[in-house]
Amino acid sequence: MSPVSDGVSVRIADASEVDPHSLAARVWLFWGKSPRLRYVALANRVRRVVRSMPVPLRLPFGAWWLAENSALDRSLIYEGFETAETAFVGRFLRPGMTVLDVGAHHGLYTLLASKRVGRGGCVIAFEPSPRERRRLARHLRINRCRNVEVRSCALGDRAGETDLYLVEGEHDWCNSLRTPNVEERTCKVRVEVRRVDDVLEGMNWPCVDFIKLDVEGAELSFLHGARRMLCGIARPAILVEVQDVRTEPWGYAAREIVRFLADAGYSWFALADDGSLESLSSELSSYDGNFVALPHERFDEFGEMGIKLAGTPGEISQQRHGVLRPCREHEFVGG
């Protein structure tokens, strides 16, 4: 009760007592949101009338994103997406670097890499889905990314053609060369498959500094198609998705990705929430997440870049550099 000058008490209702369907309640709830969510709420009301209109978003690293109806769009609007991974990539990349974004999707990491490597750098984005490439191209256009080259092929251990399964619902980030483990319907498109070694050879072997690898279970096949790169002098750091749920349709366990690169002289790291690195054993029975693989011979360079490593190469791993296991039949992705 609030006293007033004439002795009459006036009761002020709190928000819980306001009719949630009243105009006053809706206004109260609207102004209680953050500025970003108020903007999204207004944009969503406009989209009820103009359904095809995307919601322009400013990403944390400065690029513009046109949000539509995918699970990734929803994450970027409300929760953020792979914040530890993007924090690490943002700190790791330097002007002038060359980056491969393998499984570029709609371009989140492509845009981040483009911003970080600058005019003197280069980003090569691989995205075999024609539908996803259209959104990728749109994001590159509105951000004026002139240092990005888009390739339409999938990458595997042999050249050929194969079917790409496209998810027709919101989980379009689960497109795969094997039947995706999702409830939504899928359709198939025929795509070209190439070895990344062949692609790089056609480009006169640029020095690749960093790879983001997220190809829904085809990671091991990609690595088998990258033998020459992985045995080179200046080998790339790799951020890779390692999940049994993705590799199961391919007939292998996700730990084989980890052990393949450990045998090739890489050490593995998990990501803390702030994007810093924590040493990760290469002998676990299962893995579920995005992890970073760093080549031993570049540890000193990474240290100079401010990347903190837990121990020396010898302390972290006794694996030898360049020991690559032979490819097995189930890893072939070509047609």
**Quick one: which of 175, 122, 117 has its CA closest to 150?**
122
Q: What is the DSSP string of 64-93?
A: EEEE-SSHHHHHHHHT-SSHHHHHHHHHH-
Dihedral sign for Cα atoms in the order 21, 25, 26, 32: negative
- Is there a contact between 295 and 235 (Cβ–Cβ < 8 Å)? yes
Cα 193 from Cα 318, distance rounded (Å): 34
Cα 38 from Cα 44, distance rounded (Å): 10
- Is there a contact between 273 and 253 (Cβ–Cβ < 8 Å)? no
pLDDT at site 325: 40
Strand, helix or coil at 211?
Answer: strand
pLDDT in tens, the chain (335 residues): 444 444 444 444 454 555 556 767 666 666 666 777 777 767 677 767 767 788 899 999 999 999 998 999 999 988 889 999 999 999 999 999 999 999 999 999 999 999 999 999 999 999 999 999 999 999 999 999 999 999 999 999 999 999 999 999 999 999 999 999 888 999 999 999 999 999 999 999 999 999 999 999 999 999 999 999 999 988 999 999 999 999 999 999 999 999 999 999 999 999 999 999 999 999 999 999 999 999 999 888 887 777 766 554 455 544 333 344 443 333 333 32
Q: What separation in angstroms does the CA of 306 have from each of 270, 299, 301, 323?
A: 17, 11, 9, 29
- Sort residue 28 into left (φ over 0), alpha (ψ -120 to 50) or beta: alpha
Cα 287 from Cα 267, distance rounded (Å): 15
Q: What is the DSSP string of 107-151?
A: SHHHHHHHHHH-TT-EEEEE---HHHHHHHHHHHHHTT-TTEEEE
| Domain ranges across the chain | 78-323
Structurally, what CATH architecture does the domain formed by 78-323 represent?
3-Layer(aba) Sandwich (3.40)
Cα 123 from Cα 117, distance rounded (Å): 8
pLDDT at site 17: 54
Global pTM value: 0.83
- Is there a contact between 195 and 154 (Cβ–Cβ < 8 Å)? no
Cα 85 from Cα 285, distance rounded (Å): 23
pLDDT at site 135: 98
